[in-house]
A and B are shown apart, each in its own frame.
Chain A
Amino acid sequence: MSNFRPLLEVRGLSAAWDGVPVLQEVTFDLAEGELLVLLGPNGSGKTTLLRCLAGLERPSEGTIRLGGEEISRRPPHQRGVVLMFQDPALFPHRSVYENIAYAPLLQHRPMSEVEEEVGRLVELLHLSGFEERSPDQLSGGELQRVALARTLAARPRLVLLDEPFASIDVELKAELRSEFREVLRASRTSAIHVTHDREEGLFLGDRVGLLFDGRLRPPADPSDVFGNPGTARSARFLGYNVLDGPGGTSAVLPSDLRVVPAGAPGVDATVLVAGPVGRENEVVLRTDDRQRLEMRLARSESVPRPGTRLRIGWERAVRLPPD
């Protein structure tokens, strides 16, 4: 990013549960208005990292600077960092309006300002008409919209999103994540979004960082992250096939695998299962040296039967360094 002005500077952040490391020397920056996505599998430390940033957990080592101020020891309510959960965590005894107005009222803002702010967010997040409803009268998507409105009403310096779309239906998820991105951009809110959904992460992030076993790979542009998976583990997580060969380890996208004539460069494999997935056919194969491959074929191409022996080659491969 050009003109990179760090709002958040995290340096050497480590945390452990009962002596088991959960975060290991995590270091990254976040610019004003930037949406950073941290991608990682379950148990990689994503939630713990967010909880440390929000002040809900205390890291064992490291510093967190927000707007140049060290905030590691500051209690959660004095950080200006709001965490949004997968479960919207709305107050069930308060109406939609009261949920959104919660933080402005805590901040003792004038009532006219609170009303104006809530009205603006209700409008922005398409919640008009829902103001007096209680959370148990809302759908999953509406609940998350209210949670985001409540978050933005606090005028946070930083928003942390902990897999907020994980329990949303597939058809609504795409719509909601576009909406969230738009709203965060429009309000120039800095945010860190953690998810295990690679498509979501690569779509949303201005930059993306990969988190495995509590270690964060330096965040980069999504296309760079995807184009240079770096390690076999990252490559697998990003959807690549990882092939070990005499020349080293390579990462190949399923769409780059091709059936090639016998004797052509490639590997011999047996079809395990094959069938249509969306507009393509997916073929799962096992190579003779027991490596699993996924291949995408156009719907116009014939689908091989399970047990069929094929020679598989590829057009492009990313060379991976040895583990």
Chain B
Amino acid sequence: MKARGEGIGFLLPVVAFIGLFALLPVALLFSNALLQVGGAGGFVAVLSATQNVRALENSLEQGALSAVLAVALGYPAGVFVGRYRFPGRSSLRSLLLIPFLLPSLVVVLGVLDLFGPNGVVSAAVPATAFFGRGIPAIIAANLFFNVPIVLLLTATGCEGASVELEETVATLGGTPVRAYREVWARPTWVGAAAGGLLTFLFSALSFAPPLLLCGPSSRCYTLEAQVYALDQTFLEPNSAAVLALAMVLLLLLPTAVYLGLVSRLRTNPGRRRASLRPVDWHAPSTWALALETMIVLAAEAALIVAVLYRTVAPTGRYGAGAAWTELFSASTTAHLGVSAVTALGNTLFFAVVAAAVALLLSIVSGYAVVRRPDRTVALGLLLFVPLLLSPVVLAFALASFWSPFLGTSSNVWTLVIVSQAILALPFALQSLEIPLAGLSANARDAARTLGASSFGAFLDADLPRVRDGLVTVGLFAFAFGLGEFTATNFLVPPQLTTLPVALYALSEVRLFPVADAAAGLLLLLSLAVFAVIAVGGRRVEL
């Protein structure tokens, strides 16, 4: 009975933001590049270039391998934390998600700190040095980052499986295997498959791991890294844009399937409150699940401890803790072009403003969803556009389209903020979806009939109830901005260098101890954000 077209207005800010800063620049970049290379013939020629074919193969290989292994490692742990009620379950669930909030470069440094030439683990067990270089190292970094994703989505599926239904199967004479097949296998595997697909997307587009873990050559480059190299190193922007187009087309299907799977997880009626069972410690399978979960947690903890240990341990010419002094020294400033303090300031500035933008968009989107739930799907698709656009593609398009309007390079900061906000949006909004779904339409309607305007009712009746979700959105976007490297590295001039960009610059010239100190600083900041999220009992959702 709502009038057609009612409520379009409040969608405009979101549509305009995504349109102006994502869809339009990308569409123009692609169409212009296609014209420049001569249409379809040029498109095929770019794709056929040996380096590009190898990048495609690398993307598929690294993506597939990482996805399969992430599902294998993440599924059992996801079942354990998503199925059983035990003391500390919620904290464990949060702790297991920490790597997802860590900057990608910190994870890469962590892999080197564990398994690299002077790695903590490889020094003790030389055979593990296998994981310190090349494809195994890249896969290890991808797994550290992505196993938590599979774990979380599997747990989400499991938490949505009805306990009552499972008990009904049991009372009707069904075995536990039958109950698994009938009741909770499906949602858990939907979650695991969604996690696997997201792992594939992230790994096929990984940027920092191939750059830093495969030596100076480009033999491990993914499509993402190759697009960057074509534009920034080989100065072939048209070829880079055409390859970026191919990359987007290639990822269209997995992204669509991922979104479909996630929406199935979200529509599970039992999802609002986790359906948990008491732990049956008499069952060997429970012990196996618990053990596997602990192994995942231990691996994650080892990575974090290794990074922190490296920042204080004596290495080469640096004594204990000297790397920190060196990070803030004049020589590092000379090398980076800015001081570490400035880089830290830039990082915090970008992250704070990008988080504020993401938060504002989340509030507007939340209002849109509340006003017209029937448009949730359309809005969701719009907000998930960034998922399809890798950081390099987005930065490349933003720089191509908006640079002429910005004047001096100092004004590029606006594009950094826009890119960080856009890239954080899809994941930030997931944290808002569940609280939004739990809102009471009656409270909003009561406010309306008591005299509040439509937006006033949203502010009075809805917003306070999603406050925690909004705080999580802000913190998540902030954490994302802290660690964002790929797009920022593409965009910033030296004076706007951020800590992750500085970390990369230091790693490139093999100043690993100083890079470790920068990684330690980023890690501590990320852990602080995680602590604020976790202490409030809030959750990041995917």
A25 to chain B, nearest CB (A): 16
**Number of CB contacts from chain A to chain B under 8 A:** 82
Q: Is the pair B465, A93 in contact by a Cβ cutoff of 8 Å? A: yes
B455 to chain A, nearest CB (A): 11
Q: Is the pair A85, B451 in contact by a Cβ cutoff of 8 Å? A: no
Inter-chain contacts of A54 with B (CB < 8 A):
445, 448-449
B431-455: CB near A (< 8 Å → 1, else 0) gives 0000000001011011111111110
**Closest residue on chain B to residue A105 by CB atoms:** B451
B529 to chain A, nearest CB (A): 25
Inter-chain contacts of A87 with B (CB < 8 A):
440, 442
**Closest residue on chain A to residue B445 by CB atoms:** A56
**Closest residue on chain A to residue B440 by CB atoms:** A89
Q: Is the pair A77, B456 in contact by a Cβ cutoff of 8 Å? A: yes
CB contact list, B1-52 vs A, under 8 A? 1-3
CB contact list, A78-117 vs B, under 8 A? 79, 81-85, 87, 89-93, 102-103, 106-107
**Closest residue on chain A to residue B450 by CB atoms:** A103
Q: Is the pair A89, B446 in contact by a Cβ cutoff of 8 Å? A: yes
- Is the C-beta of A58 less than 8 angstroms from some C-beta in chain B? yes
Q: Is the pair A91, B451 in contact by a Cβ cutoff of 8 Å? A: no
Q: Is the pair A75, B445 in contact by a Cβ cutoff of 8 Å? A: no
A152-174: CB near B (< 8 Å → 1, else 0) gives 00101000100000000000000
Inter-chain contacts of A194 with B (CB < 8 A):
none
A58 to B2: give the CA distance in the assembly, Å: 6
A62 to B450: give the CA distance in the assembly, Å: 24
Q: Is the pair B440, A16 in contact by a Cβ cutoff of 8 Å? A: no
A59 to B3: give the CA distance in the assembly, Å: 10
- Is the C-beta of B215 less than 8 angstroms from some C-beta in chain A? no
Inter-chain contacts of A150 with B (CB < 8 A):
446, 450
Q: Is the pair B448, A77 in contact by a Cβ cutoff of 8 Å? A: yes
Q: State which of A55, A58, A85 has its C-beta within 8 Å of the C-beta of B442.
A: A85
Q: Given A58-B2, A77-B456 in contact, is the A92-B451 Cβ separation under 8 Å?
A: no
Q: Given A77-B456, A91-B461 in contact, is the A83-B2 Cβ separation under 8 Å?
A: no
**Closest residue on chain A to residue B453 by CB atoms:** A77
Q: Is the pair A83, B449 in contact by a Cβ cutoff of 8 Å? A: yes
Q: Is the pair A15, B1 in contact by a Cβ cutoff of 8 Å? A: yes
A56 to B449: give the CA distance in the assembly, Å: 8
- Is the C-beta of A72 less than 8 angstroms from some C-beta in chain B? no
**Closest residue on chain A to residue B467 by CB atoms:** A93
Q: State which of B2, B446, B451, B465 has its C-beta within 8 Å of the C-beta of A106.
A: B451
A60 to B1: give the CA distance in the assembly, Å: 7
**Closest residue on chain B to residue A18 by CB atoms:** B1
Inter-chain contacts of A60 with B (CB < 8 A):
1
- Is the C-beta of A32 less than 8 angstroms from some C-beta in chain B? no
Inter-chain contacts of A91 with B (CB < 8 A):
443, 447, 460-461, 464
B479-494: CB near A (< 8 Å → 1, else 0) gives 0000000000000000
A147 to B445: give the CA distance in the assembly, Å: 13
Q: Is the pair A79, B449 in contact by a Cβ cutoff of 8 Å? A: yes
Q: Given A16-B1, A60-B1 in contact, is the A90-B448 Cβ separation under 8 Å?
A: no
Q: Main secondary structure on chain B at its contact with chain A?
A: helix
Q: Is the pair B1, A76 in contact by a Cβ cutoff of 8 Å? A: no
- Is the C-beta of A4 less than 8 angstroms from some C-beta in chain B? no
Q: Is the pair B450, A82 in contact by a Cβ cutoff of 8 Å? A: yes
Inter-chain contacts of A107 with B (CB < 8 A):
451
Q: Is the pair B443, A76 in contact by a Cβ cutoff of 8 Å? A: no
Q: State which of B443, B451, B454 has its C-beta within 8 Å of the C-beta of A89.
A: B443
CB contact list, B404-460 vs A, under 8 A? 440, 442-443, 445-454, 456-457, 460
Inter-chain contacts of A17 with B (CB < 8 A):
1
In this complex, the interface size class of chain A, counting residues with CB under 8 Å from chain B, is: 35 or more
A81 to B452: give the CA distance in the assembly, Å: 12
**Closest residue on chain B to residue A58 by CB atoms:** B1
Inter-chain contacts of A16 with B (CB < 8 A):
1
A56 to chain B, nearest CB (A): 5
Q: Given A93-B464, A102-B450, A103-B451 in contact, is the A57-B1 Cβ separation under 8 Å?
A: yes
B4 to chain A, nearest CB (A): 11
Inter-chain contacts of B448 with A (CB < 8 A):
54-56, 75-77
A51 to B445: give the CA distance in the assembly, Å: 9
- Could you say which of B446, B447, B461 has the most chain A C-beta atoms within 10 Å of its C-beta? B446
Inter-chain contacts of B451 with A (CB < 8 A):
77, 103, 106-107, 154
**Closest residue on chain A to residue B463 by CB atoms:** A93
- Is the C-beta of A151 less than 8 angstroms from some C-beta in chain B? yes
Inter-chain contacts of A77 with B (CB < 8 A):
448-454, 456-457
Q: Is the pair A89, B442 in contact by a Cβ cutoff of 8 Å? A: yes
Q: Given A57-B1, A93-B464 in contact, is the A106-B450 Cβ separation under 8 Å?
A: yes
A129 to B456: give the CA distance in the assembly, Å: 29
A130 to B225: give the CA distance in the assembly, Å: 63
A154 to B3: give the CA distance in the assembly, Å: 28
Inter-chain contacts of B460 with A (CB < 8 A):
91, 102
Inter-chain contacts of A76 with B (CB < 8 A):
445, 448-449
Q: Given A87-B440, A92-B465 in contact, is the A75-B447 Cβ separation under 8 Å?
A: no
Inter-chain contacts of A15 with B (CB < 8 A):
1
Q: Given A87-B442, A93-B465 in contact, is the A81-B450 Cβ separation under 8 Å?
A: no
**Closest residue on chain B to residue A89 by CB atoms:** B442
Q: State which of B442, B450, B454, B461 has its C-beta within 8 Å of the C-beta of A151.
A: B450
A81 to B449: give the CA distance in the assembly, Å: 6
Inter-chain contacts of A156 with B (CB < 8 A):
449
Q: Given A77-B456, A107-B451 in contact, is the A89-B445 Cβ separation under 8 Å?
A: yes
A245-274: CB near B (< 8 Å → 1, else 0) gives 000000000000000000000000000000
Inter-chain contacts of A92 with B (CB < 8 A):
443, 464-465
A102 to B453: give the CA distance in the assembly, Å: 13
A23 to chain B, nearest CB (A): 10
A85 to B443: give the CA distance in the assembly, Å: 9
Q: Given A89-B445, A103-B450 in contact, is the A58-B465 Cβ separation under 8 Å?
A: no
Which residues does B use to contact A, with CB under 8 Å?
1-3, 440, 442-443, 445-454, 456-457, 460-461, 464-465
A-B contact pairs, 19 of them (CB 8 A): A54-B445, A54-B448, A58-B3, A59-B1, A75-B448, A75-B453, A77-B452, A77-B454, A82-B450, A85-B445, A87-B442, A89-B443, A91-B443, A91-B464, A92-B464, A102-B450, A106-B451, A107-B451, A154-B451
**Nearest 7 interchain pairs by C-beta:** A89-B442, A76-B448, A93-B464, A103-B450, A89-B446, A89-B443, A106-B451
A sample of 14 more A-B contacts (CB under 8 A), given A76-B445, A79-B449, A89-B445, is: A17-B1, A51-B445, A55-B448, A56-B448, A58-B2, A76-B448, A77-B450, A82-B446, A83-B449, A85-B446, A89-B443, A107-B451, A147-B446, A154-B451
